[in-house]
Amino acid sequence: MKTKLFALAAGMMAATALASVPAQADVKIGLIGGVSGPIAAMAPAMIDAAQLAVQQVNEQGGIGDGEKLVGVVGDSACNPQGGTDAATKAVNIEGVVGLVGPHCSGAVLAAAGSVTIPAGITLITPSGTSPEISGLEDKGTVFRTVPSDDFQGRALARTMKEMGYGKVAVAYLNNDYGTGLANAFKAEYVDELGGDITQFAAHEEGKASYRSNLAELAKGGADTLVIFDYGDGTGLTILRQALENGFFDKFVGGDGMKSDAVINELGAENLSNFVSSSPVGEQSESLDKFNEAFKGVGGDPDAIFANTSYDAAFLLALAVEKAGGKKEDVAAAVTEVSNGEGEAILPGEWKKAKELIAAGKAIDYKGAAGEHNFDAKGDVPGTYALFEVGSNGFEVVTEMQ
């Protein structure tokens, strides 16, 4: 009997000892995308690119002492309320250490203002481009791996003037993205370059018909319509109805219009006079590494915001590793791992980065979309290109400076 009691006690002690050893917990980051709404066709490639970074981290040792990195997907629906709701769930329910996204500017502004800034959680958006994001009182917690639309709008204006565009009409979606991009374009095209914008008008989302809007925009004699909207939503409707009714001869879109939905719905044969701007990665070894890796998992490296999404996730993981998993230290670590100083880390080089961080050595992430040396507002410079629709989808016409 004593032997059995001793064995039972020993077993209970062993079980207690095992129970006192904490199980390794997953380290979660939020991937907040426009899964539904006006950029729904763009979002899957963006989320897949971010998940590639998560996969590489886990294949090469994970976070900290072998913890698994998990990307928790949320849907902002590309609107402020959706962004707030998705961020609230990610931060308060899932317990994420940081966010990649939201994808759309209005959702970024709302999620940051209502959720992540008060909570001290780092947010890195790969596609929120509104100039208003730069002005957030964010205590150094909001970053983006894509340039502000203040850069894009001005670069597009300069490129159009160089290409000989004359009178243009501008239609823009009445939200943070559309307004910011349109105002930047106007400031450069008219105020700096002396261009002629005959009509400059906002429109609301979700109407069945924009023919009356287009009729007003056509007044003034412009042969070109510039559309700052989303190619999966209202922008597609406006472009379709403008083509059907012959309101304009030429069409120019911002990055939101560079969507496969435009080609799929309208047909490449009807888009010979349509071009669209978009940020692009600088040609580099980093971009080549990302392109190869993303192709290897079935992704399209030319998909818009794919490389910026990958960079946002890989950067966030590096910062979490540098911060030792402490949420409150992640934001400061973002700038420490990507500031032009230290050993170069290219996409996919997680094991190398992990070893250097453990040894107390400085690292500098060289991203697929650029080097991401953030300024005081969390912004980065960038490069752009103008795309036309060719036989293989969107093809580069010219780089934009």
Alpha-carbon dihedral sign for residues 210, 211, 215, 216: negative
At 152-186, the pLDDT tens digits run 999 999 999 999 999 999 999 999 999 999 999 99
pLDDT at 125 over 70: yes
For residue 369, count other CB atoms closer than 10 A to its CB: 29
pLDDT at 401: 80
pLDDT at 58: 98
* Residues 88/147/300/106 CA torsion (nearest 10 deg): 30
Which residues, 6 or more positions from 24, have their beta carbon under 8 angstroms from its beta carbon?
A: 65, 66, 67, 68
Distance separating alpha carbons of residues 228 and 181, to the nearest angstrom: 7
Nearest to 223 by CA among 202, 244, 203, 199: 199
Distance separating alpha carbons of residues 337 and 358, to the nearest angstrom: 13
pLDDT at 321 over 50: yes
In the chain the first and final C-alpha atoms are separated, in Å, by: 86
Nearest to 97 by CA among 339, 353, 311, 321: 321
Is the pTM for the entire model greater than 0.85? Answer: yes
With contact defined as beta carbons under 8 Å apart, do 146 and 279 qualify? yes
Query: Helical H runs in 25-79?
Result: 43-59
Matching residue, tokens 């409707």: 237
Domain with CATH 3.40.50.2300 in the chain: 27-148+283-365, 150-278+385-400
- The tokens for 91 are 């931060």
At 126-143, the pLDDT tens digits run 999 999 999 999 999 999
Report the residue count for the chain: 401
Phi, psi of 106 (to 5 degrees): -60, -40
Confidence of residue 25 (pLDDT cuts 50, 70, 90): confident
At 217-226, the pLDDT tens digits run 999 999 999 9
Which residues, 6 or more positions from 78, have their beta carbon under 8 angstroms from its beta carbon?
A: 34, 36, 37, 38, 39, 102, 103, 104, 106, 107, 230
pLDDT at 24: 61
Element of type H or E holding 105: helix 105-111
The strand pair at 343-345 and 363-365 is best described as: parallel
Tell me the average pLDDT across 380-398.
Answer: 92
Angstrom CA distances, 387 to 152, 277, 280, 300, 398, stand at: 14, 6, 11, 16, 7
In what side-by-side order are the strands of the sheet with 27-33?
69-75, 27-33, 98-100, 122-125, 142-144
Distance separating alpha carbons of residues 94 and 31, to the nearest angstrom: 12
Lowest mean pLDDT among 165-174, 214-223, 360-369, 392-401: 392-401
Confidence of residue 82 (pLDDT cuts 50, 70, 90): very high
List residues bridging with 74 in a β-sheet: 32
CATH architecture of the domain formed by 27-148+283-365: 3-Layer(aba) Sandwich (3.40)
The listed CATH number (3.60.15.10, 3.30.70.3270, 3.40.50.300, 3.40.50.2300) that belongs to domain 150-278+385-400: 3.40.50.2300
